Structure 1
Amino acid sequence: MSSAAPVRLLLVTPALDLAARQGRFGSGAPCPEHPGLNGLDTGAWAGRTLDEVAAEDPAGVRGWLTDPHYAPPGGESVAALTARVGAALADLAGGRHRLPVEQAVVRAAVVHALELPHAAFWRLDVRPETVTELTGRAGRWNLLLGRDPRDPKGTD
């Protein structure tokens, strides 16, 4: 975090669009206010389902799911995404931020904030149309769990 001022970060995941409902990879959906929080860049795999990619490149999919430093052709790895998201979190000014982000960005933010191993990325399920809240000060983050997304405290 760029200052000692407290930060309250609400990461809001959108409803699934048609491509996501079909299980198709995104291509780094933008977070207009903070480009470091853009979605995961899946490179040449963008627009395809995991099954389609696995049929063509089973070793690549296995590598991507097991090695946090493996990147799809022309894309970014889980480790790179986590580092990018972590840098964006560190640059946030104090205050409240409510940002629309992809589920992969929420996973990366939680992995970074809680200093979890990269393998935890694939173990975090993030539902569409939910809010994940991180609060912090001076480089230390906390994760708020279990709040009802309809709670007005989270949407003010």
Structure 2
Amino acid sequence: MTSRVMMISPAISPALREARFDDGSPLDATGAARARSAAGSLRAAERTLVSPTPRCRETASALGFDDTVETAPTGLDVGGWRGRTLADVSAEAPDAVALWLADPTAAPHGGESVLRLCERVTVWLDEVAQLSGRTVAVVEPEVVRAAAVRAVGAPESAFWRIDVPPLNAIEFSGRAGRWNVTFGRPLGHDEGTTH
């Protein structure tokens, strides 16, 4: 059985515009409008899963997935850095930020390491792979990165080398624990088009 999981990154929020670690802020007006304009551009799926953050829930709703009840993984827990800008944290604790970006096992912020996130997302992706039909998941960019790292067999150190723009679709397809990845396309474009 071939599994298909389309992951959609949330539309833009104030935290993303300000290069701030997510603090639960909602979408901004531009992000919400862009998501609404992409509604209807996705093929039907047997299920839609959504990360519990406000920006993922609001993106899913704007895309027309109001009846979603299943939950997808949360993003990376950045502990004490939540709500702060990377620039502020880097100025205050440059060694901690350097360690965090270089070592996937490090969690100097008191939250979760990149390695732990990758492990958590792998378990979830393996569970979704057992479901029949197509799955759409509106998830945090870090979840997409973690899934991509594991799907292509890259080391966790590659996590920071994957850019996930707002409101993009990334398709994972595979069988028997082996995944292929079709990297991002902005929503609203024809689903048959690849870039």
TM-score of the pair, normalised by structure 1: 0.86
Query: Which residue does 2:71 correspond to in 1?
Result: 34
Query: Which residue does 2:161 correspond to in 1?
Result: 123
Identical aligned pairs, as a percentage?
A: 46
Compared CA separation, residues 55 and 145, structure 1 to 2 (3 A): closer
- The 3-state SS of whatever aligns with 2:123 is helix
Partner letter of residue 156 of structure 2?
Answer: H
Determine if contact 1:7/1:135 at 8 Å carries over to the other structure.
Answer: yes
Partner letter of residue 39 of structure 1?
Answer: G
* Alignment of structure 1 residues 1-156 onto 2, 5 Å: 5-26=1-22, 31-32=51-52, 33-35=70-72, 37-92=73-128, 93-145=131-183, 149=187, 150-153=189-192
1:91-110 per-position Cα deviation (integer Å, ceiling 9, x unaligned): 11232111111111111100
By how many angstroms is 1:16 displaced?
1.3
By how many angstroms is 1:119 displaced?
1.4
By how many angstroms is 1:28 displaced?
8.2
- The 3-state SS of whatever aligns with 1:134 is strand
Alignment length (residue pairs) = 149
Q: Tell me, which stretches of 5 or more residues in structure 1 are unaligned? A: none
Partner letter of residue 66 of structure 1?
Answer: A
Q: Tell me, which stretches of 5 or more residues in structure 2 are unaligned? A: 26-49, 53-69
Compared CA separation, residues 126 and 146, structure 1 to 2 (3 A): closer
1:87-133 per-position Cα deviation (integer Å, ceiling 9, x unaligned): 10011123211111111111110001111011111111111111000
Q: Distance in 2 between matches of 1:79 and 1:23?
A: 22
By how many angstroms is 1:11 displaced?
0.4
- Which consecutive aligned stretches of 4+ in structure 1 deviate over 4 angstroms post-superposition? 27-30
Choose 66-75 or 84-93, whichever is displaced more: 66-75
